[in-house]
């Protein structure tokens, strides 16, 4: 995924399914300069993880 698309998903009023390494995630922040996204994974409770937007897949 490109950083601009991740930002669009974050700003969208619709729920758009995205996965990281096969796990559904919620995007909480996007750093378009560094192509990073802060995501929340259901399996990690409230912990946020920073990942490359290139590793995110829109379903």
Domain CATH code at residue 22:
2.30.30
Residue 53: domain span: 3-58
* pLDDT per residue as tens digits for the range 4-56: 999 999 999 999 999 999 999 999 999 999 999 999 988 766 789 999 999 99
C-alpha 55/C-alpha 13 separation (Å) is 23
Which residues, 6 or more positions from 51, have their beta carbon under 8 angstroms from its beta carbon? 20, 36, 37, 39
pTM of the predicted model, to two decimals?
Answer: 0.88
Residue 13: what pLDDT? 95
How many domains are contained in the chain? 1
């Amino acid at each position: 995924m490109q950083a601009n698309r991740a930002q669009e998903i974050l700003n969208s009023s619709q729920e758009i399914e995205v996965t990281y390494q096969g796990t559904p995630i919620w995007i909480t922040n996007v750093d378009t300069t560094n192509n990073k996204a802060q995501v929340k994974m259901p399996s990690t409770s409230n912990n946020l993880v920073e990942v490359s937007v290139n590793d995110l897949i829109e379903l």
